[in-house]
Amino acid sequence: MDEPRADDEVFTFDRVQVVVDRASLLYVDDPITIDYEPGEGAYRLRVPTHVIPDRFRL
């Protein structure tokens, strides 16, 4: 994805932007934490109630 779509929500953490589509927004209603998992070389999004399953690399 190159650019957010018109109905996407964009959150900025320091200098990192996280784009969330409208259908997934209900999963990130609480504060988001971005954790790095060195064993996997990937990042993971967490909210207080659960871990969002997808991993991503920067």
Per-position b or e across 44-53, b if 16+ CB within 10 A of its CB:
bbeeeeeeee
What's the pTM value of the predicted model, to 2 decimals? Answer: 0.52
pLDDT of residue 22: 82
pLDDT, one tens digit per residue, over 1-57 is 578 889 998 888 888 888 888 877 776 667 778 888 898 888 887 877 777 767 666
Q: What is the pLDDT of residue 28?
A: 67
Tokens 């990192």, residue located = 16
Q: Say if CB 14 and CB 32 are below 8 A apart.
A: no
Residue 58 has what pLDDT? Answer: 63
At 56 the pLDDT is 67
Contact 46, 52 (CB under 8 A): yes
Specify the pLDDT at position 11: 84
Q: Which residues pair with 18 in a beta bridge?
A: 11
57: its two tokens: 């690399």
